[in-house]
Amino acid sequence: NENQFFYTSMLHFAISLEIGINTYNKNLISYENICYLIPKQLGSRSTIQSILNNGIQLGYFEKIISRNDKRVKHYKLSNNFIKIFENWIENQRKILKAHYIK
């Protein structure tokens, strides 16, 4: 199941949402910003990095190295994961609509 990456852990979900929000806003998000935005209780910096690397290997995320500073890595959703993300959002809308609008 393509959505399985989302639901692997709360940290996977949070990282996917942060990258997804920025992708939809036509922004890239840096590793440092991801670490800043995600509560420390969800996972360490090294765990976040591991999930990002796994997401890249699976083709869900793309990593872009900054032209200005090669140490800065930015992330966005891959085109394939955008489709998965959009389907997930649409399913959530249907669930909420069915649950709250009767």
Which pTM value belongs to this model? 0.86
- Does residue 30 carry a pLDDT above 90? yes
Q: Can you give the chain as a three-state secondary structure string?
A: CCCHHHHCCHHHHHHHHHHHHHHHCCCCEEHHHHHHHCCCCCCCHHHHHHHHHHHHHCCCEEEEECCCCCCCEEEEECHHHHHHHHHHHHHHHHHHHHHHCC
pLDDT for the residue 35? 97
For the residues 41-56, what does the mean pLDDT come to? 96
